[in-house]
Every structure is written in C-alpha cells, then in structure tokens.
Amino acid sequence: MNRRIITQQLHATGASLEIDTYKDRLFKYIPADVVAAWTAVTGLISGSKIVPGIFWVLFFVFIVLTALWTHRQTSQKDQPPAKIQIVIASIAFIVWVFALGGSSSPFSAFSWYSQVYGSILLIVYTLAVPLIVP
C-alpha cells in the first residue's frame, strides 16, 4: 500500500487510483512502524541503568526519524513532498508517546502528567486528523 494520501484522481494518466477515504487517511497518518520501534527501544532500555534524560534524547531522535521515514514512504516521482502528511505523522508520534506513558515516557518526569490525559488526547487526535485532506 502506498503511504501517500491520494486526494484526486488523474484520468489523463490512465491510472485508476482511488481517492483515500477517512479510514485510509486514518491509517496513513499514523506512523505505526515508528511507534512500534519506539516501544521496542524503550522496552529494551527501561529496566537498565541509563543516563538520565536518554528518553528525551530518543524522543527527539524519533521525531526526526518519523519525519524522514514518512517523507520516504510518501515520496513519488514528479510529486512535491507530502509536507502536511509528514507534519501530521510527526505530531501523531508525539501524541502516541504521550499516551503510552509509563516509566519510559519522557513526559513522566512532569508532576502534572497523567496517562489519562494522553489517552484522551490520542482518541481526539486520532479521530480528528483524518478529517484533514491535504
């Protein structure tokens, strides 16, 4: 499946690509592969004695990786970068990390943080962003 969101059909090229629906955009906006990698990496190091702040460093590295990975997955010849999709996917990664919580979350260092806030934000964000058609 192509990860780039399709918003218009091009009849002149003879291609019969379907315009992405709400459900298609929902799946394409969520960087599930990067979230899975985050979960695996933080799971590996969460129980070990590590340098304080490593989760923040990893968090920012993974934001950059999300943008780069989404750019790569959405690149098409003779098409401009899918900037809106890259930004939405990068924000989605941040929201997922905020929602996953736990001791490996960089946000757990804040006294105001509650995983409930992350869960609510995740639900609202996940339902709202597919309404954006780039």
Burial class (CB in 10 A: 0-12, 13-18, 19+), 76: exposed
Quick: pLDDT tens for 71-97.
999 888 888 888 999 999 999 999 999
C-alpha torsion sign, points 95, 99, 100, 102: positive
pLDDT in tens, 38-71: 999 988 887 777 777 888 999 999 999 999 999 9
